[in-house]
Structure 1
Amino acid sequence: MMKYFVFFLLFSVSVFAQTAYPKDYFSPPLDIPMELSGNFGELRPNHFHAGFDFKTLQREGLAVHAVADGYVSRIKISTFGNGKAIYITHPNGYTSVYCHLQKTTDAIDDYIQKAHYKEQSFEIELFLKLNELMVKKGQTIALTGNTGSSEGPHLHFEFRDSKTEKIINPLLFGFDKYIKDTKKPTVSAVYVYPLDDKTSVNKSKRPLLLSLSLQKDGTYLSNKVLANGKIGFGITAVDYDNVSGNRNGAYKIQSYLNGKPNFGYQFDTYSFDEMRYVNALVDYSKYKKTYQRVQKLFMSNPYKLSIIKTDDSNGIVTVVPNLTSVYRIEVSDFFGNINTISIPIGFDSSAPIVEKEAMVSNYFVKVNKDNSFAKDNVSVFFPAGTFYEDFDMNFDVRNSVLYLHDDSVPVHSRFEIAMESDKFTDVQKEKVFIADVDSKGRVGYNFTSVKGNVYSANVRSLGKYTLAIDTTAPTISIANSIEGKWISTQKNLQFSIYDSGSGIKSYNGYLNGNWILFEYDNKTRKLTHNFSDGIVAEGANDLKVVLMDNVGNSTIFETHFFRSQK
């Protein structure tokens, strides 16, 4: 066994230097045909999709197999995000990731169960050594589920570079042979943007939707763009394969100006640090207003998304007199199906008919500088790089409420809000937090520190903020009382929990004075203890469940029941 470990490590080091991806090394993780409900690089809220979402017949409990020999290198169980997830590191330098699992199996499950009880927590993250949990190709390692932030039963699957942790498109590993796709990507909209105050496009200073006409050769031709300055283009595109019927993201988009590459990107590999740049890539304001994701083919202010390849103009087209141009967009999938749009461009100095949309603002934020704003007892500090582009910002404080522009402007990194108030006692201060307030008046919790009478929080979105106090304890309930009853036939204990203020921070159960594992499903707000853990005693049992919210309010639920294990 030790010889295998040494070979594993030596082989891993040698493979890291290679650039070609192995095409026949990995097998599919499921027994059923591979059908996608989400593909690599698909545009998602605040991130690019990091892998494949495999359909699982709209149900849970399908066997998940290791795609190659390796060892379980990481286990993460969370109530949000990927839910129950396991990572398998393979000797060829790559790691496979399996997420939203219902449960793991055999030795892996035993290992996780012991870790839950050792750490006395449902949410755990474990990093394993090479020789702890070895797996073989095709071995059943888990069952598919719907845990974490999953919106329906499926398997989220990823490949990562074990050394750099960059995520990699599974199609590059030969998974394309399991998917049939002869369909061109679909382009539903092309927009042209005037990029400065002096420029107009087709006599408009606002972004315009272009008309497209299908040509005999299968390409599209746009109506002519007449402009007099700097312009950029954006596109809304999706891709379909022959089987799944789901709208997926386009693999590659490339623009050309007079035949020369102008701006483009394709989704092969990128790092998790780059995920949030999806908000710079799309027309974020339009997305927030209409839920339409227009992918911009230019950068007004360059940002560090590694997949983007551009010329010196960063995709911006400068329209000048006496010169006509042809702008071409090619949208393609991994299988070589291409959709092409040609856009003729000419110069026009006519006065605009449609003026730029009026923006009432009282401040201007420059992205590459620190920005500080203060009024009354409220201050906001934006470090340089908080945003993607300069913009006109509204900032106001009325009746102790901070009005910080609105969420139509994306935020890349956290910024600080500080609010001073002397209306709370020392006891109340422990229950006070800076809350974000949505359009329906609902408050959201932000971790808040207090020093004297000043409360501060680091947040990541613009909008409305205020100080809120939460003195209400969480609630817990059980559908059918077990007080003093024999429940020998029940497989589990299940409770509903809820907190209307700052939100649930922790939950702990104790059976006869010993900590027991309760799994939490945030979608249903259910706490579940499975008697298969073997902690329950024969006969009488005393149960206590303790809930705590984010500001320290707690609730204790106590009961007793009887159970026979025979």
Structure 2
Amino acid sequence: MRFLLFFLLFSGAILAQTEYPKDYFSPPLDIPMQLSGNFGELRPNHFHAGFDFRTLQREGLEVHAVADGYVSRIKISTYGNGKAIYITHPNGFTSVYCHLQKGVGAIENYIEKAHYKEKSFEIEMFLKPNELVVKKGQTIALTGNTGSSEGPHLHFEFRDSKTEKIINPMLFGFDKDVKDTKKPSVSAVYVYPVDSKTSVNQSKRPLLLNLSLQKDGSYLANKVAANGKIGFGITAVDYDNVSGNRNGIYKLQTYLNGKPSFGYQLDTYSFDDMRYVNALIDYSRYKTTSQRVQKLFMVNPYKLSFINTDDANGIVTVVPNLTSVYRIEVSDFQGNTTKISIPISYDLSSTIIDKEPVVSNYFVKVNKDNNFTKNNMSVFFPAGTFYEDFDMNFNVKDDTLYLHDETVPVHSNFTITIEDNKYTESQKEKVFIADISKSGRVGYNSTSRKDNVFTTKVRSLGKYTLAMDTAAPTISIGSAIEGKWLSTQKTIQLSINDSGSGIKSYNGYLNGNWILFEYDNKTRRITHNFSDGIVAEGANDLKVVVTDNVGNSTIFETQFFRSQK
């Protein structure tokens, strides 16, 4: 009966698998596909949602619709994906194109009208099927470097149009354009004592294992002698034959004595999965060394949809009179696989290396609400804020809240409350709860206030305090244009900055009419293009207003001349 039930469940899963069209979509660029980032790569606070295509280290390459469809969404942001276009296709999938320089043709005209209608650079529009229809191969945009891009490239995604789940582009036949005969590279394997009672090779701290290459191409780790519960972690990347980029791995599977223990395959996942990257990796090691070690076990199970584990959640319990073999297999999409075997035996030798001491005065339980108060400051952690129980250091000293440190990952928002009656009513409008970085930089957090009580929701541990910002933003221009003729210039460019709470908004006006300024967060410059057609013949009065997050404003005014003839 149990076998029949397993067979029915397995058959149902096979039948439910989505069939992805292999030859329906064409490449979005005319140049050969070279990756600077692949699907599922480990990134800060998220898994990479698509492919990053190289664009010859420059902007302005034509971007093509990969199939017939219609533009269903356009989002322009100063951060994140920058300028992004979404195309919904009749076969149930949506393609996404990000960090664009600009749209082309009717799409760019539509975007420009929306900017002026909403009087904002940052816009988001959801379109109907008949508004902007596109054909396969049609040029829809030019590649750029907008948003949080760290260099010119095209970020490209596929999504399920109904569920919004992100899908690996390799499944749509893009694997044939990326030649890869290289096995993934595993640069480090760690073994972890899972609890305070366990020691591994006489250590209560994680240890790096030595790997020896075998004649068959696999690797053998040095023997693990332990008692109690242990887990493993790896640092691994994959290379293709063309780009030379350090890509993320596609598939991982571990086995304990031949039985599957912990694994995943990066075919598809949802946006709800994204932040669980901080649970998958050894977050403390990442924050202190920048090394991303994937933990192949879960102390407290987390809801990452593509993880599959045994009943022990990948944890190995080492018991007397039993030797075990733990095997790790890491694969890319083409099936190139690296295998590592780790022998495990029971050992009760005295501990030589003790657990690293933790400065703490409280203990946080993951599955319970936690509230801590001292003096005039308090913090509330709802159940599920963290991934694992931990010893926390909480203190208030010199008007500063010391909330452990950044080595513990936070999954969801928690609340900080500070009561202070030293400010006047006018000053309170300029006060916010600030985070303080290691370098001493003060960061703004959106803060609400009721009388003398200030409240904010944040998603990282560290130092917090009340800060007041009474300094207005700055506006500057590289070369003065007062009274000058700008007939040959294509743009006007200004630099804007705020060293306190940060810029909330900026608006430009030409002869009293609102004009579009595009903001580049990397250079902190705003640019108006005269091709918008707002500039007048002869004299033009320019006014720019910049406001920070607590309401301080600066106004820049000048007059210039321009001939359109």
Q: Shorter-chain TM-score: what band?
A: over 0.9
Partner in structure 2 of residue 219 of structure 1: 218
Residue 511 of structure 1 pairs with residue 510 of structure 2:
yes
User: What is the one-letter code of the residue matched to 1:243?
Assistant: V
Q: Partners of 1:230 and 1:293 in 2: how far apart? A: 22
- Trace 1:87-166 onto structure 2 (pairs within 5 A): 87-166=86-165
Q: Tell me how far 1:360 sits from its aligned partner.
A: 2.0
Aligned residue pairs: how many? 551
Q: Tell me how far 1:104 sits from its aligned partner.
A: 0.4
Give unpaired runs (5+ residues) of structure 2.
Answer: 1-15
Partner in structure 2 of residue 455 of structure 1: 454
Partner in structure 2 of residue 9 of structure 1: none
Partner in structure 2 of residue 5 of structure 1: none
4+ long deviations beyond 2 Å: none
- Trace 1:60-459 onto structure 2 (pairs within 5 A): 60-459=59-458
User: What is the one-letter code of the residue matched to 2:342?
Assistant: I
Q: Partners of 1:197 and 1:504 in 2: how far apart? A: 47
User: What is the one-letter code of the residue matched to 1:456?
Assistant: T
Partner in structure 2 of residue 13 of structure 1: none
Q: Partners of 1:92 and 1:267 in 2: how far apart? A: 22
Q: Tell me how far 1:351 sits from its aligned partner.
A: 1.7
User: What is the one-letter code of the residue matched to 2:333?
Assistant: F
Q: Partners of 1:68 and 1:284 in 2: how far apart? A: 40
Q: Partners of 1:416 and 1:533 in 2: how far apart? A: 45
Q: Tell me how far 1:484 sits from its aligned partner.
A: 1.0
User: What is the one-letter code of the residue matched to 1:506?
Assistant: S
- Which string of whole-angstrom CA distances, capped at 9 and with x for unpartnered residues, describes residues 378-428 of structure 1? 000000000000000000000110000000000000000000111111111
SS of 1:229's equivalent in the other structure is strand
Q: Partners of 1:18 and 1:490 in 2: how far apart? A: 56
Q: Partners of 1:342 and 1:560 in 2: how far apart? A: 73
Give unpaired runs (5+ residues) of structure 1.
Answer: 1-16
Q: Partners of 2:381 and 2:195 in 1: how far apart? A: 24
Q: Partners of 2:218 and 2:331 in 1: how far apart? A: 13
Q: Partners of 2:549 and 2:89 in 1: how far apart? A: 40
Q: Tell me how far 1:355 sits from its aligned partner.
A: 1.0
SS of 2:171's equivalent in the other structure is helix
Q: TM-score normalized by structure 1?
A: 0.97
Q: Partners of 1:291 and 1:302 in 2: how far apart? A: 24
SS of 1:497's equivalent in the other structure is strand
Q: Partners of 1:290 and 1:486 in 2: how far apart? A: 54
Q: Tell me how far 1:18 sits from its aligned partner.
A: 7.3
Q: Tell me how far 1:323 sits from its aligned partner.
A: 0.5
SS of 1:510's equivalent in the other structure is strand
Q: Partners of 2:134 and 2:333 in 1: how far apart? A: 31
Q: Tell me how far 1:266 sits from its aligned partner.
A: 1.3
Partner in structure 2 of residue 491 of structure 1: 490
SS of 1:350's equivalent in the other structure is coil
Partner in structure 2 of residue 8 of structure 1: none
Partner in structure 2 of residue 44 of structure 1: 43
Partner in structure 1 of residue 6 of structure 2: none
User: What is the one-letter code of the residue matched to 1:395?
Assistant: F
User: What is the one-letter code of the residue matched to 2:238?
Assistant: D
Q: Partners of 1:104 and 1:189 in 2: how far apart? A: 44
Once the two structures are overlaid, the 10-residue window that deviates more, 148-157 or 477-486, is: 477-486
SS of 2:275's equivalent in the other structure is helix
- Which string of whole-angstrom CA distances, capped at 9 and with x for unpartnered residues, describes residues 94-113 of structure 1? 00000000000000000000
Q: Partners of 1:486 and 1:362 in 2: how far apart? A: 67
Q: Tell me how far 1:256 sits from its aligned partner.
A: 0.2
User: What is the one-letter code of the residue matched to 2:524?
Assistant: R
Partner in structure 2 of residue 473 of structure 1: 472
User: What is the one-letter code of the residue matched to 2:60?
Assistant: G
Q: Partners of 1:358 and 1:100 in 2: how far apart? A: 44
SS of 1:171's equivalent in the other structure is helix
- Trace 1:540-555 onto structure 2 (pairs within 5 A): 540-555=539-554
RMSD: 0.9
SS of 1:176's equivalent in the other structure is helix
- Trace 1:4-15 onto structure 2 (pairs within 5 A): none
Q: Tell me how far 1:19 sits from its aligned partner.
A: 1.4
SS of 2:199's equivalent in the other structure is coil
SS of 2:108's equivalent in the other structure is helix
**Gap change, CA 1:18 and 1:403, over 3 Å in 2:** closer
Q: Partners of 1:423 and 1:150 in 2: how far apart? A: 42
Q: Tell me how far 1:273 sits from its aligned partner.
A: 1.0
Aligned identity (percent) is 82
Q: Partners of 1:263 and 1:271 in 2: how far apart? A: 20
User: What is the one-letter code of the residue matched to 2:98?
Assistant: C
Q: Partners of 1:463 and 1:198 in 2: how far apart? A: 29
Q: Partners of 1:284 and 1:360 in 2: how far apart? A: 18
User: What is the one-letter code of the residue matched to 1:80?
Assistant: Y
Q: Tell me how far 1:44 sits from its aligned partner.
A: 0.2
Q: Partners of 1:126 and 1:317 in 2: how far apart? A: 50
User: What is the one-letter code of the residue matched to 2:65?
Assistant: A
User: What is the one-letter code of the residue matched to 1:495?
Assistant: L
Q: Partners of 1:159 and 1:304 in 2: how far apart? A: 23
Partner in structure 1 of residue 10 of structure 2: none
Q: Tell me how far 1:349 sits from its aligned partner.
A: 1.3
SS of 1:279's equivalent in the other structure is helix
Partner in structure 2 of residue 557 of structure 1: 556
User: What is the one-letter code of the residue matched to 2:373?
Assistant: A
Q: Partners of 1:423 and 1:149 in 2: how far apart? A: 39
Q: TM-score normalized by structure 2?
A: 0.97
Q: Tell me how far 1:72 sits from its aligned partner.
A: 0.2
Q: Partners of 2:305 and 2:194 in 1: how far apart? A: 23
Q: Tell me how far 1:88 sits from its aligned partner.
A: 0.2
Q: Partners of 2:303 and 2:17 in 1: how far apart? A: 25
